Chain A
Amino acid sequence: MTAFGDLVDAVIIGAGVVGCAMARRFSLEGASVVVLERAPDILSGASKANSAILHTGFDAPPGSTELQCMQSGYDEYMQIRESFNLPILETGAMVAAWDDSEEGRLPELLDQALLNGVADARLLGRAEVLAREPALGTHVRAALLVPREIIIDPWSAPLAYAMQAKALGARFQFNARLLSARFDGDLWHLETPTGTLTARSVINSAGIQGDSVERMLLGEAQFEIRPRKGQFVVFDKAAARHLRTILLPVPTARTKGVVLTRTIFGNLLVGPTAEEQEERERPDVTRPELDMLIAKAVELVPALAQAQVTAVYAGLRPASEEKHYRVHCLPEKGYFCAGGIRSTGLTAALGIARHVHGLWAQSRTVGGERSAAPPTFLLPNLAEHLPRDWQTPGHDGIVCHCEMVTGREIEAALGSPLPPGDFGGLRRRTRCAMGRCQGFNCLARLASLTEGRLSVPIAPEVDP
């Protein structure tokens, strides 16, 4: 355990999925760690808005850091997931071709998959595709099946990484924006709203502000974040029966394109858009793009014309001026950067953390004591297909009826070692108010249950 004001081995800037994985890896390897997060909770930037797929890397650039991190991240997730009770939904994915030119590209995608070591990928003819997914539009032509693409809980996984880091002594500081930084030739001195931190090294996992953080630390940045907005539409649970397999488009040079997939929570999700923009702080949803996503979903699965919308959201992905990850370091300054993690971060996070820790360890003469028996703990299951708390006797009643969240689960989240800082954090930890009524029934009750326990309260004012 480190006390505030102590010299720490590493300050990690940004508690998105990459920062959480980084905190875990460094803590496991015996480093003392502080995580600085400007928002009130983990996963408050790009990490809260993704498509929740664990990718095999079948279409990643061969030989890239991205591919290597995705595959080691995938493997590590599968190794550790049971010790944290992290769910998977084994759906497989199909890259579906809808016209001649797309169909013509499938063989090269298969070659790339095989080259990337995804040996079980194979082509399906139209009849096989429709046999697997009868609700697809009948104009589908063929598909590349990638059986090991799966769906995970995109919020419980990073929460588990952060909680393990915390159990190993990592300190998380929220509402803690980096104000200024100075390197004295040996140590970093970082100004935050609550005081100065002294650290041997700094890990930049600041996501959408990755380049500005690098500029603040080094005076200049060797990459530039080009925010890419991704909007999503979540359909009601009744829609999920129409599709089992993740449906991917044939990728373009720029983006993986619009995905139609189940979520582990029992909904169907369509998105993301890929909108280049300057704005970094305002992930707004816009009507033409939402309409486009819904139309796209209906084009792929015509029965979705009757589907109800449950939620819409947008995230700003930290793309950069180049397509690849911006992982680099200045060992002599103790500076390490995992930037430009624009779309595969959920899959790659554990791998990125391992990779960056490797770079960091090489630069050090004395290593930390590796944790012999790292603490693990079971996270509450939020996956629809696995047993939930409401099915277990002894809870004190259901608070959120759409997502079947019990009062006991709300209380457990609020009382956990890494409690939510805001309502979004509580939603991600429990699924409360995430369902079809969006809080029509439970919002007011949740305001009372969380009174005094969120740094950003739902509704602070009590009627005099």
Chain B
Amino acid sequence: MSAETYDVAIVGGGPAGLSAAIELKRRGVAKVALFERGTEVGGIPRHCGHPPFGMREFGRILTGKAYARRLAGAAVAAGVTILAKYTVVHTGPDGLLTVASPAGIQAIQAARILIATGARETTRAQLLVPGVRPLGVMNTAALQAFVYQEGRIPFRRPVIVGSELVSLSAILTCRSHGILPVAMVETEHEVQARPAFFALPRVLGVPVLAGAQVLAIEGSPRVTSVRLRLADGKETVLDCDGLIFSGRFVPEAALAEASALALDLGTGGPVIDEHGRSSDPSIFAAGNMVHPIETAGHCWDEGRRVARVIAAELANGRDAEPDKTLGRRIIAGARLKYVVPQRLTLEGRGTVPALNIRAIGAAHGRLILSDGSGTVLRTQSVNTAPQKPIRFSLAGLNLAVDSSDLQLRLEPRP
């Protein structure tokens, strides 16, 4: 069986994959294939029947659903070969992909591969939440697939666990379908989205219980209640018929793992440099798989940037260089969950506007980037709520050409 060939094979049809595909076509790359394992492209925004999406991309505010449709339409118009119901089961080395579809297994050869498989929410099992295991426990995305895609109501009075932006999305989804959340429970002592957003649950009459712990999920065959320990140490039982575990995104990195890419323990996704290159010179990565989690607009922008790098490489007629190093490592210090990219090269400086950082919990103090000898290269003060993205600007930074590690640390304010 001879492999079908493409210039670029993109894995995953969410905002990052779609914008990369469109940009590659715009830059004259001839054969661009996008492999989507689901039945249609558009990614997570497909499940979001509510705004705001699309300001940066289309200059107007759309619902997630309309945004996904519009992005998919643009990819088709640009001449991207969209292959839905195609699952990439293995990638690389040398740009070889193994792909499964209803037609069976086939091999695909591509000069470059972009993996943009996105992220998913942490499950009840991963959180080791105690109790029995009834029907009615799910993530936000599953709830949204129930109501927006399948036209079904999985429960009427759920408890929402988590307080990130996606948790607010869960509330909006509930309220637009006659579902009345009983409460929003956050195990941390502060809500995780910016406090200003938390006017929303209060306005909608959903009590927010911060610093609470889930002691047990009860019910059979469906959820009937959840037992909590509240911040003040008292126990309470909330009657409910469902639980939504929202947020705490983790990368959908099974393909990256199976393809033996170097992984970052902080993000759980592949190690990349500022151009989106992975440890395999023919494989790039972009979107929420490399930084769980950012907005659709951020992923769209990143897909476009990485596409420009790929297009430039292909225009130079270069084969992927197998001995290419990923540049200098950035070691994230204590109190930092991750820094993306994890590597900095010296070429084409300026393609990454900033380092993308998450602290563990809230961050108040100073971020310090230094080199191997301890020389401080740049500092930036930070003052952010938990989970909030931190951007560390690299503009104008001159890095020495050597292979020593860079250190990034958070010095808390005394």
Contacts and interface: CB of A to CB of B under 8 A. Distances in A.
B39 A397 contact: yes
A439 B142 contact: yes
B2 interface: no
B266 to A, nearest CB: 12
Contacts of A439: 138-139, 142
A202 B139 CA distance: 45
B121 A440 contact: yes
Interface string B327-338: 000000000000
A391 B105 contact: yes
A392 B103 CA distance: 8
A287, A311, A401, A461, most chain B CB atoms within 10 A: A287
Contacts of A237: 254
Interface stretch (B15-23, B147-155, B369-377): B147-155
A369 interface: no
Interface residues of B, number: 48
Contacts of B254: 237-238, 402, 436
A459 B154 contact: yes
Contact of B142 (A284, A401, A444): A444
A436 B126 CA distance: 9
A397 B102 contact: yes
A390 interface: yes
Nearest to A458: B135
B104 A312 contact: no
Given A394-B102, A395-B102, A440 B142 contact: yes
A334 to B, nearest CB: 33
Nearest to A398: B87
Contacts of A463: 147, 151-153, 177
A286 B125 contact: no
Contacts, number: 130
Contact of A286 (B100, B105, B130, B142): B130
A310 B125 contact: yes
A290 interface: yes
A398 B125 contact: no
A393 B104 contact: yes
Contacts of A459: 135-136, 146, 152-155
A419 interface: no
Interface in B139-184: 139, 141-142, 145-147, 149-155, 177
A461 B141 CA distance: 18
B132 A290 contact: no
Nearest to A39: B221
A437 to B, nearest CB: 5
A394 B100 CA distance: 11
Given A401-B87, A463-B151, A438 B123 contact: yes
A214 B57 CA distance: 70
Contact of A422 (B177, B221, B257): B221
B156 to A, nearest CB: 8
A64 interface: no
30 contacts: A238-B254, A238-B258, A281-B220, A284-B131, A285-B130, A285-B131, A285-B132, A308-B268, A309-B126, A313-B133, A394-B102, A394-B104, A397-B102, A401-B37, A402-B254, A422-B221, A436-B254, A438-B125, A440-B138, A440-B142, A443-B138, A444-B142, A444-B146, A444-B149, A445-B149, A447-B152, A459-B136, A459-B152, A463-B151, A463-B177
Interface of B: 37-39, 85, 87, 100, 102-105, 120-121, 123-126, 128, 130-133, 135-136, 138-139, 141-142, 145-147, 149-155, 177, 216, 220-221, 250, 252, 254, 257-258, 265, 268
Interface of A: 237-238, 281-287, 290-291, 306, 308-313, 390-398, 401-402, 404, 422-423, 436-441, 443-445, 447-448, 456, 458-459, 461-463
- Top 10 A-B pairs, shortest CB-CB distance: A393-B104, A444-B145, A459-B154, A438-B123, A444-B146, A461-B153, A397-B85, A443-B142, A463-B151, A444-B150
